[in-house]
Structure 1
């Protein structure tokens, strides 16, 4: 049984490396964002700019106004990655210490204070389902979702063990216009943009 288990782990590791190579080869060639989950590669067709990027920028700036100087609300590269779990994700905004960001390659997800996602129109299940499953598995203690489709969102905290693996135990919903607390910091959601019917997928 040990040999079979080792072979299975080696096979999973090989498959993950293949998927990671595919993702890296498409980064600057195809539009959108590519990530790796337990189910395989996820492709989120995002257009630059628009409510998605504006929301990420607003949330980042508002958080940095109230956070201590040693932290930042980063909305650029790199990815967060756990090779042992076979997961590579790219939060729209991550709260992280400057020292923990100052590394070569992907970020250790267990150094991320909070992950924030802006729901895209092209693949909302990626944020509301896939990342809601993956982020507690990666040990990210706080996960906040802002949804420009509905003008609502939620903050998930308190990772606990379940038969299906680690999950968030606490969910706090909010409506745009209210204040929302992400980890230890409270920001306004007033004035965040919404998707319009004529918007392209973003």
Structure 2
């Protein structure tokens, strides 16, 4: 015995009729048969607004790409760029605050943690790199370059590049926010590796895999 499955247009009509009759509220996603229901991004309520906004913007873009809605993904780019610009500014501000002094007694820098470095994809054998004024200046120049790349990507979206840049920026901002004492040592190394095109294990991960990793990292770094 065969069953007849209603087509997209009939399904939409049924949803609207049910809403009009008061049988059930109208689900906005039902009006677009190709648009998937948005998953709730749970567990971010106590995160900084800038980080949460960037993750939500990236999720919106990736969800559109996953459902082959390229135009919708393109329209999500300006908001994502705005959020990533904000995170880069926050990282730069942290680096400025931790900049080694030219004169006087410098504040001892915290030893970079191998566990925190691993979250950024930095191998342990790269943690002994110098982190002086020169490295900080280079890191700040790199951040300016990333701002420029974002501006270009907003004009001409390249979603592969956006995925890499968003993944890198969100994760670095998370570490800088949750473990600010490590920023001075680890951020310059992470920025240098990114500009050198060093492969990152999260680039090929799904958004959900990244989100799970970011949640675990945040919980680890902020636990007493």
TM-score higher than 0.5: no
Q: Which has the larger radius of gyration?
A: 2
Q: TM-score, normalising length from structure 2?
A: 0.22
Higher relative contact order (CA 8 A, sep 6+): 2
Q: TM-score, normalising length from structure 1?
A: 0.24
Q: Which has the higher strand share?
A: 1
